Chains A and B, each alone.
Chain A
Amino acid sequence: MDFFHHIATGFSMAWTAQHLAVALVGCLVGWMVSVLPGLGPVAGMAMLLPMLGMWGLNASMILLASVYCGSQWGASMVRVVTSPSGTTALALTAVDGHQLSRQGRAGAALTVGAVSSGVAACLALGLMALGAPLLTDLALHIGPAEYVSLMVFSLVGAVALSPGSLIKALAMIILGLLLSQVGARHATRLFEHALGVPDAFTHIHFVVLTLGLFVLGDIITLLGQPANERSGIALTLGDMRPASTEVQQARPAVWRGTLIGSLFGLLPGAGSVLASYTAYALERRLAGQSGQFGRGDVRGVAGPAAALQAGVQSSFMPLLSLGLPLNAVMALMVGTMALKGLPPGPQVMSSHPDFFWGLIAALLIIQVLLLCVHLPLLRLWMTLLNLPYRFVFPVVTVVTCLGVYALRGSVYDLYLVAGFGVMGYVFHKLHCPLPPILLGFILGPMMESHLRNLLQPAGEWRGLVTRPVSLSLLLMTLALIVFVLLPSVRRPRELAFRET
């Protein structure tokens, strides 16, 4: 059968000693960045990217994917053991896990969370593998006009479903697009005039942009905030096994979470966060009066964890099938694919089936690895969790600088990254979201080349509005903007996304 043939292709790519080692390293790095203060998946991936110098496409993508998955696992663990702050959507879903850990049952909560995450991720991958052929057919009907409209839709969708002001986020997308266009040329000339730096490059490297905005900018921001060091977390794990009644309760919650996550993960922006929040709300409603919600209900741990991981997996789908990044993490992966010689787009699935199925298989392997290593290494992560930030940021700064230099051997890139660090801090102070810059920056050149294809024979812009699929995508984009700006939607949206 075709399906099994594809799976076999995938495993023959992913199941090599090198790729397994890469996946394990990636998982460990992912955990580390989620556990250490002030880092996240985007920062971790950006710091690893320069080290991928001579690695091939498959190994690089497996590494990045495992960092992403590992960081999400780590983040769910951190949310259980530290006290949730405020009323953010994510903190809300962590309430029950934290209550369990205060009752001395952190071990059981972590086991439930880990097993739910792993099971949900594997199920979601199965759904993806089944759904992939449908998308391949769909992708064949995508011409330049549809692709441009699809990019516009996903860019706007990504900011509409993310926290912060929509108008500022749109401006940030445009800034990213502009930086990918002329920014480099002018910065280059400026540097040549002002500093006499001759070895300037003609384009800004996306890793330099990411490291500046997301790593250096974050360091300055965090150092500027009043010290809120996480005080010593010395909690007792207790029995690692959940009670059998709890297992019974958690099982259906995992199925439901998986479904919610698989669907929401396809949404642009903070899809998996939204999935986690929705799953929590659903479980609480289904439990009704019988539930222990808010006092440590195991369903409140299993459902959101399952939805989050399923969402993470299915957010790979738009990337692999259409070449569309829906958030900053995926944007980095698109950049890496392009860098390693496989331009992302709708043709990838049919022209490189081994890459597509290999990555699906690798994601499955990563989940199994995470499930095997997560619980045994728990104590190590908790030690790292208590590491004060003052030891972390100098090392992160050095790794960033070394990475930037290793990228192209250019000192000019180091001055550029310092500039982007300042820019990241300024935008943080002005409450302008940063991920849209990265999305715009990475989608910019792709969008331009498709636009030029569209205009190629006759110079007709009309294709964008005469082709039905393209037109409906553009109309949906417009509707989305109007919808988000409606006063009745604006308030709950701000509430749901606050500080996520």
Chain B
Amino acid sequence: MKIKSQRDFWAGLLFLALGVAFALGASEHAMGSSTSPGPGYLSLALSALMVVLGALVLFLSLTFETDGGNPIGPIAWRPLWVITTAVVMFGLALPRWGLVITCLLTVAWTSFAVGKPHWPGLWWSCLLTPLAAYLLFVLGLRLPIPI
């Protein structure tokens, strides 16, 4: 069997997996009946529909020819890694070190997401972003953020 559309093949698999996962989750809740559905009833029905659609996408990806096999293309590992860690780091740092240091760290770290950092630009961003964040979020909008 040959995969005729890479993108649809993986999308189909993903939908199938998600459908099964949600169905397992739903089955832990009370089902009820069709006349008085419990908390798990609608979720299970939707998960089943999701599995059907996933199977359909998977089937079509193995059946219909697409130009060039519809490849997924290169995956941007570096931005993916840097942006995700930046957000998680933000969550870890904010309650400990406060707004200004956290913003500074996040701006500095995200600048490494692509290519070589542009040093003068980086300095200015590191200086201005925490300042602007402090002025706007804390002084201006009075949002409850640790400083």
Contacts and interface: CB of A to CB of B under 8 A. Distances in A.
6 contacts: A167-B57, A171-B57, A182-B26, A220-B79, A397-B86, A401-B87
Contacts of A399: 133
A421 B54 CA distance: 22
Contacts of B22: 178, 182-183
A53 B35 contact: no
Interface string B86-123: 11101110110001000100110011011100100100
Given A182-B43, A421-B83, A429-B72, A168 B106 contact: no
A430 B141 contact: no
Given A182-B39, A390-B115, A430-B8, 7 more contacts: A50-B143, A178-B43, A181-B26, A401-B86, A425-B80, A431-B8, A448-B42
A388 B10 CA distance: 34
Among B22, B91, B92, find the residue whose CB has the most chain A CB atoms closer than 10 A.
B91
Interface residues of A, number: 60
Interface string B49-92: 11001101100100000000010111110111001101110111
A219 B83 contact: yes
B42 A223 contact: no
Nearest to B128: A395
Contact of B145 (A402, A425, A432): A402
Among A219, A401, A425, A432, find the residue whose CB has the most chain B CB atoms closer than 10 A.
A401
A200 to B, nearest CB: 13
A168 B113 contact: no
Contacts of A216: 83, 87
B21 to A, nearest CB: 8
Contact of A402 (B15, B84, B118, B137): B137
A170 B11 CA distance: 13
Interface stretch (A293-301, A375-383, A403-411): A403-411
A227 B15 CA distance: 31
Contacts of A183: 22
A415 B88 contact: yes
Interface of B: 7-8, 10-11, 14-15, 18, 22, 25-26, 29, 33-37, 39-40, 42-43, 46-47, 49-50, 53-54, 56-57, 60, 70, 72-76, 78-80, 83-84, 86-88, 90-92, 94-95, 99, 103, 106-107, 110-111, 113-115, 118, 121, 125, 129, 133, 137, 141, 143-145
A485 to B, nearest CB: 11
Interface of A: 50-51, 53, 165, 167-168, 170-171, 174-175, 177-178, 181-183, 185-186, 216, 219-221, 223-225, 227, 390-391, 393-395, 397-402, 405-406, 409, 411, 414-415, 417-418, 421-422, 425-426, 429-432, 448, 451-452, 455, 458-461
A174 B87 CA distance: 27
Contact of B29 (A170, A182, A394, A415): A182
A466 to B, nearest CB: 16
Among A170, A395, A426, find the residue whose CB has the most chain B CB atoms closer than 10 A.
A395
Contacts, number: 183
Contacts of A168: 8, 11, 15, 57
Closest 5 CB pairs of A and B: A224-B76, A459-B35, A414-B91, A223-B79, A418-B87
A415 B91 contact: yes
B107 A395 contact: yes
Contacts of B115: 227, 390
B133 A430 contact: no
Given A168-B11, A171-B57, A223 B114 contact: yes
A171 B83 CA distance: 27
Contacts of B39: 182
A174 B90 CA distance: 31
A175 B86 CA distance: 27
Contact of A186 (B25, B42, B125): B25
Contacts of A393: 110, 113
A497 B115 CA distance: 33
B99 to A, nearest CB: 8
Nearest to B73: A429
Given A53-B141, A167-B57, A219-B79, A395 B87 contact: no
A175 B50 CA distance: 8
Contacts of B8: 165, 168, 430-431
Contacts of B88: 414-415, 418
Among A390, A422, A425, A430, find the residue whose CB has the most chain B CB atoms closer than 10 A.
A430
Contacts of A401: 86-87, 90-91, 94, 106
A245 to B, nearest CB: 46
Nearest to B110: A394
B46 A174 contact: yes
Contacts of B121: 390-391
A227 to B, nearest CB: 8
B125 A430 contact: no
Contact of B83 (A177, A397, A458): A397
Contact of B75 (A181, A224, A400): A224
